[in-house]
Chain A
Amino acid sequence: GQQVMQIPQYQHVQEGEDFTTYCNSSTTLSNIQWYKQRPGGHPVFLIQLVKSGEVKKQKRLTFQFGEAKKNSSLHITATQTTDVGTYFCAGGGSQGNLIFGKGTKLSVKP
């Protein structure tokens, strides 16, 4: 079935270091969405990318959608302890539902 692969599974960084998580699909996606789940919390919608090659920024977070609309990345500049959590990408599936990647769990050492 359709899958969205996300790497790395875990990332440990020192506060102030940058962080990137990558998302890949074998099929073209209609859109890609990113969510953040804090420890003990529920996923919270961050952003949606729709256009090929689209880049969006939210303060220290930069989101990219690949030219072929098969991959995406989330980059955090100068991580802070408040960035801790699991970041999920989700792409539009063939049935019209969102397929979530397994997520990247980010830990930040102060």
Chain B
Amino acid sequence: DSGVTQTPKHLITATGQRVTLRCSPRSGDLSVYWYQQSLDQGLQFLIQYYNGEERAKGNILERFSAQQFPDLHSELNLSSLELGDSALYFCASSVGRGDNSPLHFGNGTRLTVT
């Protein structure tokens, strides 16, 4: 158990809809990262928050947004969903701010857009 909690585990929704994925980091970790993993694909970095502030941005679409709350949990909002958004979305947390801290991944949220 990594200590990172992601909900829900599965999400099935229709095109054009909006969903929210939630992540609680490991106790003591200040950084939260969001990654997208499509079938047989690698991990695409979306965005990182550190102690409530956005720290790094990857290939995140404008239809996607995220935030980290004062209690350090994070939410990833996906709107105007398209079929191609179907993927596994991982949240990870780390104790540090930069790239030197190992990441601890949650079990992921599998999103299916029909």
Contact = CB atoms under 8 A, between A and B. Distances in A.
Given A42-B90, A96-B56, A33 B43 contact: no
B107 interface: yes
Interface residues of B, number: 26
B87 interface: no
Q: Is the interface of B mostly helix, strand, loop or mixed?
A: loop
Interface in B70-114: 90, 92, 97-100, 102-108
Contact count band on A: 20 to 34
Contact of B99 (A43, A98, A103): A98
**By CB atoms of chain A within 10 A, which of B42, B45, B97, B103 has the most?**
B42
Interface string B17-59: 0000000000000000101000011110100100000011110
A48 B45 contact: no
B102 A102 contact: no
Given A30-B100, A42-B90, A95-B56, A100 B43 contact: yes
B15 interface: no
Nearest to A91: B99
Nearest to A9: B40
B104 A45 contact: yes
Interface of A: 30-31, 33, 35, 41-45, 48, 50, 88, 90-93, 95-103, 105
Interface of B: 2, 33, 35, 40-43, 45, 48, 55-58, 90, 92, 97-100, 102-108
24 contacts: A31-B100, A33-B103, A35-B103, A42-B2, A42-B90, A42-B105, A42-B107, A43-B43, A43-B90, A43-B92, A43-B105, A44-B2, A45-B102, A88-B42, A88-B43, A92-B98, A92-B99, A95-B57, A96-B97, A97-B55, A100-B42, A100-B43, A102-B42, A103-B42
